Amino acid sequence: MACSHRFPHLPSFEVAMDERLLTRAFMKDDETAPGGKRLWFKGPSVDLLDYLAKAFNFTYTFVKPSDGSTGSKKTDGSWSGIVGMVMRGETHFAVGPFSVTASRSQVVDLTTPISMSSLKFLGGLGRSEVNPWSFLLPYTSLVWATILATLLVLLVTTFIFSLYFFIGNSSKVNRMNSTFNLIQVLLQQDYHLTEEWWWWERVVLAVWMLMTLVLTRSYAGNLISHLAVRYIPKPYVNLRELVDDKSGGIIWQQDSSTEQYIRSKEMGILKEVADLEQKGRARRIPVKEFYSSIDNFVKRGDHVIILYDEFLSILLGQQFSNTGRCDLYLLKDKIKPSMAGMMVPKDSPFLPPFNDRALAINEFGLYEYWIQSAIPNYTACLDPPTKISVSNSLSISNLWGIFVVLFGGFFVSLIFLGFETLL
pLDDT in 10s for each residue of the chain, 423 residues = 444 567 888 888 888 887 766 666 656 666 666 666 766 777 788 888 888 888 888 888 888 887 777 877 787 878 888 888 888 888 898 887 888 888 888 888 988 888 888 888 888 887 766 677 777 878 888 888 888 888 888 888 777 776 666 555 544 445 545 556 777 777 777 766 655 666 677 777 788 888 888 888 888 887 777 777 777 778 888 888 888 888 888 888 877 778 888 888 888 888 888 888 888 888 888 777 777 788 788 888 788 888 888 778 777 877 787 877 788 888 888 888 888 888 999 888 888 888 888 888 888 888 888 887 777 777 777 777 766 656 666 677 767 888 888 888 888 888 888 888 887
- The phi and psi torsions of 267 (rounded to 5 degrees) equal -160, 170
Q: Let me know: does 342 contact 109? Beta carbons within 8 Å.
A: no
C-alpha R_g of the chain: 34
DSSP 298: I
Nearest partner of 250 among 366, 142, 331, judged by Cα? 331
What phi and psi, each to the nearest 5 degrees, are found at residue 334?
Answer: -145, 125
SS3 71: coil
The one-character DSSP state at 127 is P
DSSP class of residue 296? I
Give the C-alpha separation, 61 to 394, whole Å.
60
- Report the SS3 class of residue 208: helix
What angle in degrees, to the nearest 10, is found between the helix axes of 366-374 and 351-364?
A: 70
Instruction: Report d(CA 28, CA 42) in Å as an integer.
Output: 12
CA–CA gap between residue 176 and residue 160 (Å, rounded):
9
- Helix (H) / strand (E) element for 323: namely helix 309-323
